[in-house]
Chains A and B, each alone.
Chain A
Amino acid sequence: MAPEVDIRREMLNAARALGQAPSTATARMTSDLSIDEEFALHSIGWEPVELVCGVSLHSVPVGVWNWGQGEITPASAAYERSFAVATDRIHHECAGAGGHGVVGVHVEWAVRRHHIDVILVGTAVRPLGAGRVPPGSVFVSDLSGRDFTLLHAAGWAPLGLATGASFVYAPRRSMGAAMQQKSQNVELTNFTEAMYAAREAAMERMQRSALGMGGTGVVEVKVTEGPMEFAHHAVGFGAYGTVVRLVADTHRRLAPLMVLPLDDPVRSFDAASLRGK
């Protein structure tokens, strides 16, 4: 059991330390992880290193969102290339900072009429005191520090972010069918089939991406799907998640402790709400 901490004495020690210059022995780090995540990382012998990012934008030619059939290949390709280049850039920033991987990555991707943007921001981490690794050996993951710790404790390792997206046209109905269905409770099979086509293509690409990294599964998959704001007849399906592989001899069962809280849930208060936000 961890020794009891006298927090009042520690607070006094901290206040006194502000009168001294910072130690040059400890490495300077920048991190967007919470203190809980840093505790969790330290418990498995890892530490945060630096805040890193990767961004890419690829063009989508004019006219591709007009009526057509099948997949909108230029848009799907632009998404894939943007994700690949953004990932490559964050790999290089992580390796340059001395990190072995990036955790807690915030993944932002946006489909605009003529370009698709991908932005990745996270914290590079490494085993305590470890040396540098080449960019190709770095992993990128959107798992939180807590989830990375759980994965590690169970004998698994993250390998990278797998992603897949597909954009397809929803075929037009004939005028007769549209008029007939106007006042009916009826499934619009053109949209349903378009969603299925986009989904299957995107999920297949994501799985292929995971297998290409040598992974056995993808966890924490996030899905975005629906028609484009600027072209309602075009639907898109995008998915990304963290590729994982078992690195221990066998999966380690964590056997969580069941707890029954006796206190009521506390309503959290954000001081920014004082400004009416």
Chain B
Amino acid sequence: MVGTPVDLPEAAGRRFTDGAFTSALTVPDFAACLQMGLEPVGFVQGFCVMQWGWQGFAGPSTAGMGGMGYRSGPGDAGQGYSESWQCPHGFVSMEHRSWGQNFEQAWVEQAWATGFTAAYGRLIEEATALGAHGVIGLVDTSGPLGDLGVVEFRVQGTAVRVLDGPAPHEGRPWSTYLAGQRLAKLIEAGYAPVSIAAAAASVRVWASCVTGYLTEGTATAFAYQQVGAEIEQTAKAHMAVRRIARERVRAQLGGDSLHGASMTTSERELGEGDAELLCVLRGNRVRRFKAFDPMPAPRPTVRLL
């Protein structure tokens, strides 16, 4: 993650010393936290508005009309995912797509990571200013801000202190998406919340001629594919974007586990087989602090009301 921002609003600093706490917890979750020895100290938030910008040509590196110099195979070392497809037809016309490529859009991933970690870092800064040990019930959302062509990242949660608990490790509060009963069950199962983990992966499909024909359903003599064949290039892009998101999140885990993961994937079709895929994976990084006691077989129940 980037360095913690030191831009806590002055008004927030005054509000945190008022002596009253705020919280987004429901009443049952609030009661459950008190039972666990967690004292809510404040409702904390972090925001960041990002502009998505081109950083040089966002296409495949040195790919040209003659197919010179573009990468083949699943990516050069350190360059991210990349796969390419050659046109099987020979020269058709200047407009014919002589090659296609799937490639990872690192600039999109970096923009997402910058926005998310800035918003998350600001939330942690507020929690630290409150003297919190952790943040529970985190909610993170992102979306367009009006019609400005920018994206706002929002992270919010309830900062808590563990009664008689130690100071946060390395001065940084732990965090989790869970709250209340679900957090209590996580603790009972022997897992300690470490932090939330989240990553985004973006893959661009520059469709080859065959991919374009299959996506448009155009059964021409140039297709060289059986009718109803798999759109291999797009399918591989879908698998790759999900794999990359999982690898990014796993890299954040250290030796810990990811619990309660949520994976959302969106696709923007750009026409003629071209597409842009974005996969966001988020979850709770948890650490086992005791062995899982063998659970008795649960007794099924039927509610009469």
Residue numbers of A with Cβ under 8 A of B are 1-2, 5, 7-8, 10-19, 21-24, 26, 28-36, 38-40, 42-44, 51, 53-64, 74, 77-78, 81-82, 85, 89, 113-115, 119, 121, 149-150, 153, 254-261, 266, 268-269, 271-272, 274-275, 277
Contacts and interface: CB of A to CB of B under 8 A. Distances in A.
B268 interface: no
A13 to B, nearest CB: 6
Interface centre among B216, B288, B294 (most CB of A within 10 A): B288
B234 interface: yes
Nearest to B246: A51
Contact of B303 (A54, A82, A259): A259
In this complex, the member of A26, A42, A78 whose beta carbon has the largest number of chain B beta carbons within 10 angstroms is A26
B215 A115 contact: yes
Q: What 4 pairs across the A-B complex have the smallest Cβ distances?
A: A114-B217, A17-B289, A22-B255, A14-B192
Given A51-B246, A81-B230, A271 B139 contact: yes
Given A51-B263, A275-B154, A266 B28 contact: yes
Contact of A56 (B36, B37, B235, B302): B235
Contact of B301 (A17, A43, A257): A257
A254 to B, nearest CB: 5
Interface of B: 24, 26, 28, 35-38, 133-134, 137, 139, 141, 154, 156, 162-166, 168-169, 174, 178, 182, 184-189, 191-194, 214-219, 225, 227-231, 234-235, 238-239, 242, 246, 249-250, 253-263, 265, 281, 283, 287-290, 292, 294-305
Given A55-B235, A58-B230, A119-B238, A26 B288 contact: yes
B231 A115 contact: yes
Contacts of A55: 235, 238-239, 242
A277 B143 CA distance: 12
A150 B217 contact: no
Nearest to B194: A18
11 contacts: A7-B36, A16-B166, A18-B194, A19-B169, A30-B257, A33-B260, A35-B186, A43-B297, A61-B228, A85-B230, A261-B305
Given A42-B294, A57-B235, A32 B261 contact: yes
A82 B232 CA distance: 11
Nearest to B241: A55
Contact of B287 (A10, A22, A32, A51): A22
Contact of A12 (B162, B186, B238): B162
Contacts, number: 228
Contacts of A32: 260-263, 283
Nearest to B35: A7
A272 B187 contact: no
Of the listed residues A17, A18, A56, A63, the one surrounded by the most CB atoms of chain B closer than 10 A to its CB is A18
A272 B262 CA distance: 15
A15 B258 contact: no
A95 B72 CA distance: 28
A114 B215 contact: yes
B305 to A, nearest CB: 6
Nearest to B242: A53
Contact of B298 (A7, A30, A43, A115): A43
A257 B192 CA distance: 33
Nearest to A260: B304
A272 B182 contact: no
A65 to B, nearest CB: 9
B20 to A, nearest CB: 18
A212 B141 CA distance: 44
Contacts of B249: 30
B287 A258 contact: no
A31 B258 contact: yes
Q: Which of A10, A121, A268 has the most CB of B within 10 A?
A: A10
